[in-house]
Structure 1
Amino acid sequence: MIVYPILSNIVFGLWRNVAKAGSWMAKVQSDNSWKQHTPISGKVVWMHCASLGEFEMGRPVLELFLQKHSDWQAVVTFFSPSGYEPRKTYSKAKVHYLPIDTPSEVNKWLDYANPSLAVFVRYDIWPNHLNALRKRGIPSVVMAMSAPKTPWYLHRTLPFIRKVYKEGIHTWGVISEQDAANMSLAGIHSKVLGNPKYDYAASLAGKASIEKFAAWKKSQQKPVLLIGSAHLEDCKALNGLDLSGFSTWVVPHEIDEGEAMKTALSQFTEDDAANSITDKPKATSLLMIPEFGVLSRLYSLADGVVIGGGYGKATHNVLEATVQGKVAASGPNWQKIAENHELVELGYLIPAQNESSYRQYLQRIGTSEFTAKGNEAQQWVLSQKGASEKILNVLEQAVQL
């Protein structure tokens, strides 16, 4: 394990020197307030999440833990600004960016956070962090992990990295039996604890929509097509369709990409589009919604939903829409997310391979069959709850509560 700390110091040191304003590194460096604070005292559970989706998986577990063990405090870290920005004011924990993975930064961080338990949601587990936790005798638990194949850090061709992960994790909590089988091939024993995403999604069912958007929908007198967690490629894929019969709402995954998305939806003129809701809504066909933290409460207002990310690494969170009784469509890259396989099989997520697929989806919106399928989808999500309790039991065992 000598090689990685040396390399990480060199790589992150160079990265820090060339970081530009607005970059990930610059944002991490700007979140240094914890370095001036005295260490947190008492019992602390530290939960790390790559981004917002991972946080929403971990949130029901964290809140259940704090509810049951009120003498504990929580610290939450994020790797991505898309997680940190909307949740930096989360009231149940101190929220920070994950410090860069060098031995010196990690030790400063652990001196401040002073955790008695570390929880990593799904992935984004860094070797120096893990090694330092092990040396301090702090148990680390991975929850909601999906392992469609052997994770790179457990590959037998990387023995010095593999050793850190094998020795550093107290419990590997995976979603399914197939994940456990794949971990076994890597020589790792894991526990099938289920997917807490369903618990989070169930908590959204029946939540009130945001009044100003409900009023906007009423003023438009058109069915709403909501493109949630949108990327530029999603908008390009939809622009070839006739969207004139819809009030099209776009919630960008990255706020600063909103203008480019509006340009990509070139069938809408400047007069057709609105960048925000005003006190007196005008008749528009395209509404850009560059706001963090509102998407999950907009799905209840939608008549049709397209989930973004399907032309990139993976489709974003579908369950937030499904639990509101919506059958969703997405681009072709949906397979990396564990629950999407069941959603596609059951017909609750429609992978759109081309323009024709999207057209067929749009034609179903508003039909009785489509509405009934959405109601069925909602009930199915609600029936999948229960993983949070299982994960809670593992966390309690790790710290002997």
Structure 2
Amino acid sequence: MSHPSPHARQRVIFLIASGLSTAGSFAGLTAKGWILMDETKAPMVLALNFAALSLPTILVSGPAGVRTDRVGCERVLIQAQWALLGAGLLGALSIPVFDGQAQVLMLLASTLLVGIAGAYELTARNKYCALLLDDNSELAPFLTSFSVVFNVGKLVGPLLGGVLITLAGPATALTLDAATYLIPIASVIWLLHPRTELEERSAPGDKASLRVAWRECGSTLRHVLMFTGLMCVVGFFHPGLGPLIAASELGNTPMDLAVFTSVLALGSIAGGLLLQRNSHRFCRRPSRTLAGFALITAVAQLGMAHGGDVPFLLAMTLMIGAGTAGLLSSSNLITQVGSTQILRGRMAGLGQIAFLGGGGLSGLIAAQLTVMMGLQATFAISGTLGVFFAVLEIWRRGDSVLTEIRSV
């Protein structure tokens, strides 16, 4: 009877620690969203909250990738996790200490700091994963396993957040968010033993820059990043406007928001599982994969614009979750598997700029459109543009193949 390798057990530990932390994070995000919705009733504030989480990646992910490739992913990962703990505690303390506009500003500041620290954490974690492998072929399935675990956390976290807000108040949910960051910190410091001798670090100077990574990654990966950014600007605004969508379609209680977010997460899990089971095949056809997931999201947005009863709208929400998660996870997977080890920190940074930076801009655009034209019209515009660009991508580049699959 064969036994799992030490690194296989460590991969499981890393996945579990990350999943528990993710669940706590989404409990906290649910609490913040509900507080901001309850305090302000303003779509733009909700969009600003998501933008504070995502837009820092435009400025921070580049330096995060450069630092990861320069000083080592393990060191950056630990530092980022401590920073996430501090940012989470700031949000928890804002509830008993502040109220009114000051509380809203402190919550937004907490989210901004989480976004900055999270950019470093995600960039370092992507490169760190390759150091927990026994064989090169394990990279794609392991990276997609993180997508599944992340989306399971998205499912459990909002339900937990809704229950905690209802029973114990938002401060408890935000405190739990902060405390869960201790789990991955402890696992990386004491339990995991990555193969650090395999890590390639860049030398200081111009060759360590983001510009060099963009030039050396190749035309296929550059197009993957550009198409991902385009599709995120077109339609990845739902996390930011989730409380508004839930209040409009289901109701404005914390549990209504939790149900909506959890259905979105169920779709994300489905998209992640589909990608995991086809990770190598999907990597080979990057344009077809990315455009296919984008098309699922766009069609579902048109369904939301059309409207219907609650089961239909939840089905469209499920599709949005699947399409969005598939797009983001496959973009990350393709850029990591298709790049060399020395570039992976910076490629993760470029990927974050594409999908989180694009998503933050999209949230602000969608919030303004919602104020001007209404939520259904916003869905219609986003869905129509999404269908157009996805179909165009399949028509023009659907047969393109990623032939240079790199080693660990």
TM-score, structure 1 as length reference: 0.30
Higher helix share: 2
Which has the greater radius of gyration?
A: 1
By relative contact order (CA 8 Å, sep 6+), the higher-ranking structure is: 2
